[in-house]
């Protein structure tokens, strides 16, 4: 057991997780079950037409994942019973009223039992259709909040955002929320354009293209680089403005990468953020990428983000004294930066020692190249404060680590992240 104090806290708790098939949420679900199998219940919201389809998605996309290998081996023949007795798949959709939970008996049961909600639902496509991103990232967050307010025993809403909601400012970005914009006007603009397109009998392809263009236009007009971060920022604004007395914690991770330690090093799903650069470089397709070698990359392993989430859940549970939301940037740049030049060196060294074999069976030789940089750094003083408060309350944060200073970047990139990316992210077989 990694952390007796947190295990005791989680015992008997009922937690509702949205976006459960996503990368971050999967790691959270596995973490909770491994820390405290005696959790009362985990309700997982999955987009599905009915409960049977939701349960199929639960097993096909979550439980069958390699991520659950340690838990599966530990419980052996009792693993299926653990899942069936503790995890409930809920068919629904965050973009709908009552989160699309149509079974009234199930809704009432959830409203009676749920104590904490973790909202990890999001569309992360930078160039998503504006109507889709607005419904999920912005008003989806509001729907989760409204659902939470109907829960009789709700003690905390934990919302997963992104550090890049801080728009296109440069330099140090502090942990404070930007003044709201007219979000309901944004919805009106979308509805108006959709109506116009439908009145002209526009094709699905034309509507999709138009909605994508509108998202980029509205984002840039309001000072954000893309539709994703713009709609996530507006989601935060709605939560902050309408949370009432419900304790609200917002977690803002930077670029999330493979697991550092738990449940095992190097697990990742798909090709994420800077991984496309690593893979393209290894294949010999990327020989250079404009950037500043002295700049730093702000990446953070997914298990550290989840550790910060779990600790913040305990620290802020039933925290009725806090009138405003609490925001935590989970990042590495402020405490333990990895330079672009470091990444270039690590990647070059890895693929020199472990060259890619192309489809013709030939070794791909790589040369040194330049990769990209990020202009922002994020103040994480609140995260440092979370660590202090947790220690004061007897939570062993050294065992549930989210301190980026502890990361040895060379070891992590060369021995954990790249091998994990190749094995789990793209299923490369050597």
251, 24 Cβ separation under 8 angstroms: no
**Active site residue: 130, 164, 228, 350, which one?**
228
Residue 351 CA from chain centroid, whole number:
29
Q: Tell me, what's the pLDDT at 148?
A: 98
127's CB contacts (< 8 A; 6+ apart) are 212, 215, 216, 226, 227
Q: Other CB atoms closer than 10 Å to residue 25's CB: what's the count?
A: 24
According to the model, what pLDDT value does residue 373 have?
46
> Which pTM value belongs to this model?
0.91
Exposed / middle / buried, residue 363 (Cβ in 10 Å: 0-12, 13-18, 19+): exposed
- 162 or 173: whose pLDDT is higher? 162
- Picking from 91, 98, 112, the residue whose alpha carbon sits closest to that of residue 21 is 91
Residue among 26, 155, 232, 243 flagged as catalytic:
232
Question: In the annotation, is 385 catalytic?
Answer: no
Domains within the chain, CATH numbers bracketed:
4-259+298-333+375-406 (3.40.50.720)
Q: How confident is the model at residue 396 (pLDDT cuts 50, 70, 90)?
A: low
Q: What is the pLDDT of residues 30-81, one digit of tens each?
A: 999 999 999 999 999 999 999 999 999 999 999 999 999 999 999 999 999 9
Cα–Cα dist 160/250, whole Å: 6
What band does 1 get if pLDDT is binned at 50, 70 and 90?
A: very low
Is-catalytic flag, 232? yes
Please state the φ and ψ torsions of residue 419, each to the nearest 5 degrees.
-60, -40
> Which pair of tokens denotes residue 308?
């910060």
- Residue 329 backbone dihedrals phi, psi, to 5 degrees: -85, 125
Q: Are 47 and 136 in contact (CB under 8 A)?
A: no
Exposed, middle or buried, 378 (CB in 10 Å: 0-12/13-18/19+)?
A: buried
pLDDT digits (tens, 9 = 90+) for 346-376: 999 999 999 888 777 777 776 665 444 455 5
What is the maximum span of the chain, computed from C-alpha positions, in angstroms? 64
Q: Which residue has the tokens 């509108």?
A: 214
pLDDT at 2: 43
| CB 414, CB 24: distance < 8 Å | no
């Amino acid at each position: 057991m990694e952390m007796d104090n947190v295990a005791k806290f989680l015992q008997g708790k009922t937690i509702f997780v949205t976006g459960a098939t996503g990368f971050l949420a999967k790691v959270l679900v596995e973490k909770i079950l491994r820390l405290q199998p005696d959790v009362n219940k985990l309700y997982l919201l999955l987009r599905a037409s009915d409960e049977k389809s939701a349960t199929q998605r639960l097993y096909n996309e979550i439980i069958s994942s390699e991520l659950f290998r340690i838990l599966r081996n530990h419980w052996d023949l009792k693993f299926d019973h653990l899942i069936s007795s503790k995890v409930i798949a809920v068919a629904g959709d965050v973009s709908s009223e009552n989160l699309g939970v149509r079974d009234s008996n199930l809704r009432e049961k959830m409203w009676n039992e749920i104590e904490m909600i973790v909202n990890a639902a999001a569309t992360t496509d930078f160039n998503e259709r504006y109507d889709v991103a607005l419904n999920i990232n912005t008003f989806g967050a509001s729907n989760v909040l409204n659902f939470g307010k109907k829960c009789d025993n709700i003690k905390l809403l934990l919302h997963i955002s992104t550090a890049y909601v801080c728009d296109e400012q440069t330099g140090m970005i502090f942990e404070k929320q930007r003044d709201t914009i007219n979000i309901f006007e944004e919805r009106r603009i979308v509805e108006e354009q959709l109506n116009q397109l439908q009145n002209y009998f526009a094709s699905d392809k034309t509507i999709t293209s138009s909605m994508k263009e509108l998202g980029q236009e509205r984002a840039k007009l309001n000072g954000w680089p893309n539709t994703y971060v713009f709609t996530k920022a507006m989601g935060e604004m709605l939560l902050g403005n309408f949370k009432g007395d419900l304790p609200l914690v917002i977690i803002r991770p930077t670029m999330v990468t493979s697991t550092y330690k738990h449940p095992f090093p190097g697990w990742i799903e798909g090709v994420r953020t800077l991984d496309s650069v690593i893979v393209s470089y290894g294949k010999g397709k990327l020989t250079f990428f404009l950037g500043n070698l002295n700049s730093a990359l702000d990446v953070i392993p997914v298990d550290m983000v989840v550790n910060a989430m779990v600790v913040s859940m305990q620290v802020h549970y039933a925290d009725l004294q806090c009138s405003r939301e609490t925001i935590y940037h989970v990042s590495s740049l402020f405490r333990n930066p990895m330079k672009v030049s470091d990444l270039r060196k690590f990647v070059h060294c890895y693929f020199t020692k472990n060259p890619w074999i192309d489809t013709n069976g030939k070794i791909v030789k790589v040369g040194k190249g330049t990769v990209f940089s990020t202009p922002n750094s994020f103040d994480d003083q609140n995260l440092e404060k979370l660590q202090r408060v947790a220690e004061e309350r007897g939570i062993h944060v050294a065992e549930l680590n989210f301190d980026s200073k502890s990361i040895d970047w060379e070891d992590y990139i060369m021995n954990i992240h790249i091998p994990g990316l190749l094995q789990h992210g793209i299923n490369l077989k050597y």
